[in-house]
Structure 1
Amino acid sequence: MAEEQKIQALDTPAKPLLSGRLRKWLRFARQKPLGATGVAILVLTAIIGVIGPSMTPHEPLKADAYAILLSPNNIYWFGTDVMGRDILTRVILGARVSLYVGIVSMLAAATLGSIIGVTSGYFGGKYDIIIQRFVDALSAFPSLLLAIALMAAFGQSLNNIILALAIIFTPRFTRVIRAVTLSLKEVPYIEAARTIGCSNIRIMALHVFPNTFASVMVVSTASVGTMIIIEASLSFLGVGTPSHIISWGAMLSGDTQAYFSGAPWIGIFPGMALTIVVFGINVFGDALRDILDPKLRGR
Structure 2
Amino acid sequence: MKPASFSYRKPVSIAEAITLLAEYGEEGKIIAGGQSLVPSMNFRLARPETLIDINNIAEIQGVRDMPDHLEIGAVTRHATFHHPVTPCPLGRMLTKVVANIAHYPIRQRGTFGGSLSHADPASEWCLVATTMGAEMEIHGPSGSRRVAVANYFKGTFVTAVGRDELLARIRLPKLPEGWGTGFYEFSRRKGDFALAMSLAALKVEGGVIRGARLGLGAVGAHPQRLEALEADMTGRPATAETFAAIGEAARGMVSASGDIHGSAEYRMELVGTVIARALAQAAEDAA
- Same fold? TM cut 0.5: no
Q: Greater helix percent: which structure?
A: 1
TM-score under structure 2 length normalisation:
0.23
Q: Which protein is bigger by CA-based radius of gyration?
A: 1
Higher relative contact order (CA 8 A, sep 6+): 1
Structure that is richer in strand per residue: 2
